[in-house]
Structure 1
């Protein structure tokens, strides 16, 4: 398996273990590929949920630019909801998992066609 495949398997296991869900592997793979080279950098691969500027970047760059959602308080509410579900105390909140969960929450799977 390639390094990317190993990471996708790690993210899928995280979804099973921490969220109690069976991941849609096709969508998770597409979301992970969409994250680009950031998945290979330990710092960029994770999201710091206590950093407001980091959460704002997720809102602007992922929810608004990538998914095409209109700005509003519902975006930050969704981000916080996903992080709460993932576990705020969980040290490693992987970017592809957060993006996957947000994509599903807003029903925007078609973006990854």
Structure 2
């Protein structure tokens, strides 16, 4: 797994990202990252965003439905210019925008 590639992508949005958090996310997402299609978040697909909300936001970040909706909306806006939204970066920004980075980087 190429952590540097994910770090570089996160750095497009965060000047000094936590390498521990990026590595943790990449390890957590390794199965999704193995497939080119699932390595990218389809932010225009409501089903995909609902899946992220039910899974990562609810289970991993322990967000309420409203908090998850707000964080997803913020991240979609932040990444709107990026046609291929890297899943690691998307999830990193979700943790950052919802103030739950400690749940990712331990």
- Report the TM-score when normalising by structure 2: 0.87
Matched, 1:77 2:74: no
Pick from 11, 28, 35 the counterpart of residue 22 of structure 2: 28
User: What displacement does 1:20 show?
Assistant: 4.9
Q: Which has the larger radius of gyration?
A: 1
Matched, 1:43 2:37: yes
Matched, 1:105 2:104: no
Contact 2:74 2:97 in 1 (8 A): no
Distance 1:109 1:43 in 2: 26
Pick from 6, 9, 13 the counterpart of residue 11 of structure 1: 6
Let me know the Cα RMSD of the aligned residues: 1.5
Which ranges of structure 1 fall in alignment gaps of 5 or more residues? none
Distance 1:83 1:10 in 2: 21
Distance 1:30 1:61 in 2: 16
Distance 1:93 1:67 in 2: 20
Give the number of aligned pairs. 105
1:93 match: 85
The 3-state SS of whatever aligns with 2:85 is coil
Which ranges of structure 2 fall in alignment gaps of 5 or more residues? none
Distance 2:78 2:16 in 1: 15
More helix by share: 1
